[in-house]
Each structure stands twice: as C-alpha cells, then as structure tokens.
Amino acid sequence: MIKEAVLHMPLSQYAYATSENAITIRLRTAKDDVTYVGTFYGDRVAYEEPIPVTEVSMEKCATDDLFDYYEANINTDLTRVCYYFKIFDGKDIYFYYSRGFTDNMTAHRTEYFQYPFIRREEVVNIPEWAYESVMYHIFPDSFANGNRTIDIKEKTSIETPDGISINRLGGTLRGIIENLDYIKGLGANLIYLNPIFAANSYHKYDTIDYFKIDPCFGTDDDFKELVCKVHENGMHIILDGVFNHCGPDFFAFKDVLKNGEDSKYCHWFYNLKFPIEYKDPPNYECFAYVKEMPKLNTSDPEVRDYICKVGRYWIEEFGIDGWRLDVANEVDHDTWRAFRKAVLSAKSDAFLIAEIWEDADVWLKGDQFHSAMNYTFTYLCRDFFAGNKISAAEFDQQMQKALIRYPRPVSNAQMNFLDSHDVPRFLSLCEGNRKKLSLAIFYLMMAPGIPSVFYGDECFIEGVTESKYRSPMAWDKSDNDFSNDISKWSSVRKRCDALKLGDYKGLYVDESGLYIFKRSYDGKNAYVVINNSDSQIDIKLYDICHLKGDFTNMITGEKIEGILTLEAYSGGVFE
C-alpha cells in the first residue's frame, strides 16, 4: 500500500455532520491500491477503557486520476465521536490513526481521530428549495423591455441628485415581469439578476446607492411587483450584491474626493493616498485597477454594518430570496459571517452564493456561504464538450475530483453554469455547433449542482467579447425546439431526487466520447448516457455496464428494449 497517498482530515470535507445525529467520514487512498476500507467509531468520552467501537464498511465514492475516495455515513446517538480506519490492500492489514499507521489495533482513544462535538451550527444546512432549483440568469440591460421584445433605442442617460445612470440596450424590470411566463416555461424556478441598484454604468457594478433601484431599470414599485409575481409563480429570486467595491458617486467616496484627509469616510476605503487623484492609474485601491470602482474596507465595523443593513433591507422590504455576492474572495471573512447572520435573521431560508473562481472550500464551512459559482464545472465542460481537449475518462476523473472537494450536500448546491456575464458564450467556444451546446446543457441538467442557464443560451446567442456575450436577448429565436428540450430536461431533473440530491459515479467511458454515469439517492438510480461524438452510436447497457432489467427513457417515457440508439452529440437519462 502506498502510505503517502492515504489522507484524512478531521472537521473538513473528509469529516462533516449532516444532522445532529449523523456524520460522514471519508478517506483517500492511492488509485486501485486497496481492497477494503472500514472505520471504527465510538464515544470519545465513554467510561469504559478501551471504549466500545463499531465497525462500518466504507464504500468507494469517487475516483480521479490519482486517488480513490471512500465514504461511510454514520448515524449515531453519539454527539462526541472518535474513530480510526482499517485498510486492507489484499495482503496486509493497516490501522490508520491520527498519528499514523500501525499493524496493531491501538487501545487508547487519544490516538483516534476526533469529532469533538456535533455542534448544531456546524451541520451542513442549505435551504431545501435550493436543491429544487433550475436557475435563469438575467443581465437586466440586455433582456427585455416588453413582451418578447427588447426595443433598442439610443443609449439613455438619467441624471439624479446622486449621479448619472446610463444604459446600453434598454432592458427593464417591467420587461422581466412581462416575460415571467416565458422563463417559467423553460422550467426555471429561480431567477438571478445581475446588479439592479443605482449605478453609473450599464452593467451596474459601480454602485451609487445600494438602497435604490437604478432609474434605467424602473422603480421600487416595479421591483416589488416583480418579486410578488415571481413568488406567485412558485419561483424564487436572488440579487447580485457588489460589496467589494462601490462607484465613484457612492456617498462615502464622494465625500473623500471632496474633503480629502478630513473626510469622515477615509477609513471606509483601502490605501488612500492624498490628495486623491481620480485618474488612471488611481492612487487608491480599486477592483482590478478600475478607478471607477474604489475598493471598500470591508473589515471596518461601519462598512460591515452598512453591508449587513443592505443585505437585510432587500429581504425585509421587497422579499428577495437571497444573494449572489460579487468578488466574494476579496471581502473580509468576518464581514461575510456577519452578513450571513443578518440575512438569515431576516429570512431563515435565504440562499447565499459566492462568486469565487477557484476552490471555495474556505468560504463553504457553514459560516459564510451556502454555495459558490462552480467555475471548475465550466472549464471542464469547455474542454470536453466544446473543445474536445480531454477524453471522457479525463472528464469523469476531473469532475469527481471537483465533487469531492466539498461535503456532498454542498457539492449538490453549487451554481453550475456554461455561460455568464463574465465569460464568452459557450456556443462560440463550440464554433457555432448547436448540437454541442445542446449536449452540454443536457449534461448541466443531469449533473450534481444547481443548473444555471444564462439568458439567450436557449436562443443560440454567441459572443466572445463583453459587448457580444451581453448581446440583446434574441426574442425572434426564442420559440424553438431547443427551448422545448431545456423545458423537458428541467422537468425531469425537478421530479427526480437522484438528479437533485444523489451521488455521482462514472460507469463507463471510451475513447469515442461515450460516457455513462449514475446518480443515486435513497435506493433509486438515474443512468445518464452521453454521446460526445460526431457519430450515431448503438449500445446495449447490459453489455457495457452490466446493467440488468428494463429501462425507461425518463424524458419520453419509452421503454428501452435491447439496443439504445443515440444521435451524434446527444444524451439520454434512464431509470
């Protein structure tokens, strides 16, 4: 056995509580290196010595290019648990404790791994409605200003006492209201809006006033109506919160520009050098050196209180269901902890998503965010579906590696997406191949995590540069077979617990691009078959996966007898 590959970390994604009476334990080994892994657990404060222990066999839950991962779900009345591992490599038995390996069972509990106490606040606690969600992501300026239309006029500039707001294409909140039936028809039940607060630019990431709707988009009454109608339709809505930085007309920064070192808001910002020079390059900290976006000092108590006040306000006054938080990895951790408490005190099942482009583990410990934007998912889908840069085997390995980064309930709540307001359109990366886009969105609906469709994906919008991937909604192409397919896939996902909550296991891959995986939950399975090739395939599930019994196409309801046929760049899901 390769001992150097064995890994367990207490109180991490390798040991986490799913309730006050249940913990999940994981262990990593080298790939194909062992034949059995078990865990022994007991009461870490038991009176007996040695303490009584129970052995639980661990199942292989994931495999990547280098490692296998084993998992056991322990349901127990114990609140304080200690545990160790038994590993068999086909020849020798090893016992793995907190201080290393031995070939003899160790009696003393102090050498075991420890789960000191299953604290209520450490239990993975994600709003149940989040798992039921299919997201539709809207860039408000680009979407609509009427029923199935975005009537593009000349750029609007609106001057208010606080500053000047502009738009580019003319999308409004009223336009979203008038198209809620369209969004719902796609199967979406969660709307994510890019920033809608008063701001200078068309994208609204340079906030003027966090307590006002941008006049280019509409009024407070428009937004109240939107939220009300979203909820009437059984849907949820979350907003984009931009608290890492503000705009140049934000009241505190205007005061700093006016009064310099005498401003009472100097401590609200980072690394100010006086006199402030509002020019390129700026002599104050900004978002990505953009002078129009001065960076807020989010560790300052006054700034923290202000951000928390904003977080509560839009829930208490308008009833929103959560937040997507911009540039979350540059904001003070204690501020996010305070923000979470403030928001959940206003709505206990509010949902918080972080914009983090890398591994988000440190933000997903249960004290800051429920979820993060899953850029790893995006990159892997680009490489497999759009670029054919990796094989089905590599895709499976890397996807499983990504899933094992977090506790399963957290992985199943990640925001998965192919497109957003910040990245080139997936169809452009597919060089216009609509079948590739269709297959990627099919996979999006079948994979662990919350699927997010960016407005216009269903209408085949393309674009590599910012102005292009934020193009106006292609309403003239909105009534198409692809939209109907997305609706069907969304429906299958929402009624199948295995797809929403289940684990993920690769069953078969080959060099042609055939990929079969299984989603499992509570004894029920969904089998997903992907044909990522330019040729039709005919397969027998029994022959390649040793799956017995009759199968039903979960999309069409048809029974599968004998041979399954899949067209080029297509997929199917079966039970």
From 326, 332, 396, 462, the catalytic residue: 326
Question: 427-451 burial string, b = 16+ CB within 10 Å, else e?
Answer: bbbbeeeeebbbbbbbbbbbbbbbb
- Per-residue tokens: 188: 């979406």
Rounded to the nearest angstrom, the gap between the alpha carbon of residue 144 and the centroid of all alpha carbons in its chain is: 26
From 355, 419, 457, 503, the catalytic residue: 355
Q: Is the peptide bond before 50 cis (omega within 30 degrees of 0)?
A: yes
**CB distance 84 to 39 below 8 Å:** yes
DSSP one-letter code for 199: E
Q: Which helix (H) or strand (E) holds 160?
A: strand 157-160
Strand 351-354 with 371-372, pairing: parallel
Alpha helix (H) ranges present in 290-423?
301-316, 333-346, 375-381, 392-403, 408-411
**Residue 258 Cα distances to 207, 249, 250, 251, 263, angstroms:** 18, 11, 12, 11, 8
- Per-residue tokens: 222: 């428009």
* Closest to 473 in 3D by CA, of 459, 452, 487: 459
Give the 3-state secondary structure of 162-180: CEEEECCCCCCHHHHHCCH
* Closest to 98 in 3D by CA, of 11, 37, 13: 11
Q: What is the largest CA-CA distance in the chain?
A: 80
Give the 3-state secondary structure of 251-306: HHHHHHHHHHHHCCCHHHECCCCCCCCCCCCCCCCEECCEEEEEEECCCCHHHHHH
68 belongs to the catalytic site: no
80: how many CB neighbours lie within 10 A of its CB? 14
| Cα distance between residue 169 and residue 466, in whole Å | 13
Q: Which helix (H) or strand (E) holds 422?
A: none
Q: Is the peptide bond before 301 cis (omega within 30 degrees of 0)?
A: no
431 belongs to the catalytic site: no
> By three-state DSSP, how is residue 204 classified?
coil
Q: Which helix (H) or strand (E) holds 523?
A: none
**CB distance 499 to 491 below 8 Å:** no
Catalytic residues: 326, 355
